[in-house]
Amino acid sequence: MSIDTMELDTAEKIAAIPIDEIDVSRPSLFQQDTIGLFFDRLRKEKPVHYCRESHVGPFWSITKFDDIMAVDTNHKVFSSEAKLGGIAIQDMHSVEGALELEMFIAMDPPKHDQQRKAVTPAVAPSNLLLLEPTIRERACQILDDLPIGEEFDWVDKVSIELTTMTLATLFDFPWEERRKLTRWSDVTTAAPETGIVASYEARREELIECAMYFKGLWDQRVNEPPRNDLISIMAHSPVTKDMPFLEFLGNLLLLIVGGNDTTRNSISGGVLALNQNPDEYRKLNDDRSLIASMVPEIIRWQTPLTHMRRTALQDWEIGGKQIKKGDKVVMWYLSGNRDETVIDQADRFIIDRKNPRHHLSFGYGIHRCMGNRLAELQLRIIWEEIHKRFAKVEVTGEPERLYSTLVRGITKLPVRLHAR
Amino acid sequence: MVKVTFVSSDGTRREVEIAEGETAREAALFNGVPGIDGDCGGACACATCHVHVDPAWIEKVGRLKEGEAEAELLQFAEGASEYSRLACQIPMEAAMEGLVLHVPAQQY
């Protein structure tokens, strides 16, 4: 069954769709990057919107900043529990042949709290201070190896490389095999329609392979003194050391995806945004201190995870609409991050914005992104080092975007570097 | 106006004033006190306005209450202590005149 049409939506066509027939779950809208036009309509005409029929079943869309905040901080009513569907618009555990993974992002308290607390120290500020010199050294290496004046793919050579290296550092993962992490991250969020995996069976096979690989690392580290890497932390913590297999794998994949897709796409998205806004690029070139406010602005602008989903545990009203117990509720961060009523000139990329950290990309409440400071750190370092070396990272062709409703990804970005 | 002193992790003391009815978060942000991010806008939703209330003030300000949103968020913060609070949840009223708050080295 085809879940999607590849026919391009023009602005006129989008404007003509009856509001109740809008279905923002179609991955093609994100790949073609027309999704913003749909969200503009929802925010104006029906900010809490019910889609009766879609390939992921019926769901509510929450599209305004404040309504999203209200849902995100109300975990007692809006559950993340995997068995109820979990945290993405596509139900977890719904697909035949898929693994019934368990991960703390898709749990409610108290188990969520215990597991999150166990792994948090790896990405907390004091550990990041220790990691910063290593990340910077690796960023410099990546940038110094790039060709000047020659076209290449920024995603592959920089965005993937930097985030993969950082993730390998966090896991203390065998260095030469670090691209396995990139692959497992892609496979985790992939559905067969993306072409990344051939089928759910194939996906399952690869993820089990991932688990076995990590089991090997785990077995080594559990017998060594505790260290600061994520595997050692989990192997030694009383709340994570005896996790069942699918929970072990689930939490690993959560950390891999969390540390990979998101920062990768923000690194690419920043280059694209600066090219689309040459005045902002000029401002940056004139004043490198703007990197501090540019980093959160890039994260808002890209919104690398378009949404998080919850399931209502009881009837509840949002924005004058009656949500029923059991309903699927999707918080569209990508839409809330363009909400004019909360963010001044929300549809513009402004690197010296006054209050740039007030965005939804990390979510809010107890599930707020645990790696948010690490993401900012990587972006800050890469831009500081880019600024030293290059007058411009020029985008030389059309970007290619990921076919996904969840990950707002850029898969290819041809660029040419201009030396400073 | 209410006077409040923020002590940064390097020991620097900054005494600022804030209108009654605002919170300690605004006292820091409106007066350019470094070290308080307050990403969520004061909604008790992000834990980036974490402060340690000076022990002499903790009973007056009040401690975290288990099970409430503020405590749920602060359980994940680095270096959280029995004196931890979110600045956005400390209302500035006349009784807070002279309050002393310690700002952690980094918000998370």
Is B45–A364 a contact, with Cβ atoms under 8 angstroms apart?
Answer: yes
Q: How many CB atoms lie within 10 A of CB A17?
A: 13
The two tokens of residue A158 are 């920089």
Q: What's the pLDDT at B47?
A: 96
Give the phi and the psi of residue B97 in degrees, each rounded to 5.
Answer: -50, 120
Class of domain A11-419: mainly alpha
Res. A2: pLDDT tops 60 = no
Evaluate if residue A125 carries a pLDDT over 60.
Answer: yes
Q: Which residues of B touch A116 (CB under 8 A)?
A: 76
In order of B30, B38, B62, B80, B88, the CA distances from B48 in angstroms are 16, 5, 19, 12, 10
Name B11's Cβ contacts closer than 8 Å, sequence gap at least 6. Answer: none
> Nearest chain B Cα to A72, which residue?
B45
pLDDT score of A353: 96
In this prediction, residue B88 has a pLDDT band, given cuts at 50, 70 and 90, of very high
Is the confidence at residue A100, as pLDDT, over 90?
no
Cβ(A233)–Cβ(A271) below 8 Å: no
Q: What pLDDT score was predicted for residue A151?
A: 98
In the chain, the amino acid numbered B56 is A
pLDDT for residue A92: 87
CA distance B89 to B108: 17
Q: What pLDDT was estimated at residue A6? A: 54
Q: What is the pLDDT of residues A129-156, one digit of tens each?
A: 999 999 999 999 999 999 999 999 999 9
| Bridge partners for A50 per DSSP | A60
Kindly list the distances between the CA atom of residue A375 and the CA atoms of A51, A123, A135, A193, in Å, as whole numbers in the listed order. Answer: 33, 10, 11, 29
What's this model's pTM, rounded to 2 decimal places?
Answer: 0.94
User: How far apart (Å, rounded) are the C-alpha atoms in residues A284 and A291?
Assistant: 7
A124, A362, A365: residue with CB nearest B78: A124
The answer to whether residues A417 and A148 touch, using CB atoms and an 8 Å cutoff, is yes
Which residue in the set B39, B75, B108 is minimally distant from A358, CB to CB? B39
**Residue of B25, B50, B108 to mutate, testing the A interface (most A Cβ within 10 Å of its Cβ):** B108
Q: Which of A67, A115, A300, A357 to mutate to test the interface with B (most CBs of B within 10 A)?
A: A357
Q: What is the pLDDT of residue A96?
A: 61
Contact A113 B39 (CB under 8 A): no
Quick check: A329 and A71 in contact, CB under 8 A? Answer: yes
Query: Any CB–CB contact under 8 A between A418 and chain B?
Result: no
pLDDT of residue A7: 64
ipTM: 0.93
Spacing of C-alpha A211 from chain mean position? 22
End-to-end CA distance of chain A: 52
Which tokens belong to A109?
A: 């308290």
Within 8 A of A368 by CB-CB distance, chain B residues are: 45-47, 73
Q: Nearest 5°: phi and psi at A51?
A: -100, 115
Sign of CA dihedral A111, B44, A128, A409: positive
Amino acid at B32: G
Record: contact B45-A73, CB cut-off 8 A: yes
pLDDT value at A54 more than 70: yes
Asked if A370 and B72 come within 8 Å (Cβ–Cβ), the reply is no
What domains can you pick out in chain B, each with its CATH number? 2-102 (3.10.20.30)
Q: Which of A113, A37, A54, A98 is nearest to A368 (CA)?
A: A113
> pLDDT tens digits for A153-175?
999 999 999 999 999 999 999 99
Q: Name the pLDDT band for A226 (thresholds 50, 70, 90).
A: very high
Residue in B closest to A357 by C-alpha:
B39
pLDDT at A1 over 50: no
Cis check: omega of the bond before A110, within 30 degrees of 0: yes
Phi/psi of residue A319, nearest 5 degrees? 50, 40
Q: Strand B99-102 relative to strand B2-7: parallel, antiparallel, unpaired? A: parallel
- In percent, the amount of chain A with pLDDT more than 90 equals 82
The pLDDT > 70 percentage for chain A reads 97
Q: How many CB atoms lie within 10 A of CB A134?
A: 12
Task: Give the pLDDT band of residue A5 (cuts 50, 70, 90).
Answer: low
Question: Which residues, 6 or more positions from A353, have their beta carbon under 8 angstroms from its beta carbon?
Answer: A293, A297, A344
Task: Tell me the average pLDDT of chain A.
Answer: 93
Cα gap A58→A373, rounded to integer Å = 35
Q: Which element (helix H / strand E) includes A127?
A: helix A125-144
Q: Looking at residue A200, what is its pLDDT?
A: 85
Q: How far separated are the first and last CA of chain B, in Å rounded?
A: 30
Contact A265, A304 (CB under 8 A): yes
String of DSSP letters for B46-66: S--SEEEEPGGGHHHH----T
Is the pLDDT confidence value at A14 over 60? Answer: yes
CA-CA distance, B56 to B60, in Å (whole number)? 9
Question: What is the pLDDT, as a whole number, of residue A199?
Answer: 86
Least confident segment among A1-10, A196-205, A338-347, A362-371: A1-10
- Average pLDDT score over residue span A237-264: 90
Coil vs helix vs strand at A153 = strand
**Chain A nearest CA to B63, separation (Å):** 19
Task: Select from B72, B88, B107 the residue whose CB has the most chain A CBs within 10 Å, as the one to mutate to test that interface.
Answer: B72
A345 touches chain B (CB under 8 A): no
Closest to A264 in 3D by CA, of A299, A237, A239: A299
Q: What is the mean pLDDT of residues B50-62?
A: 98
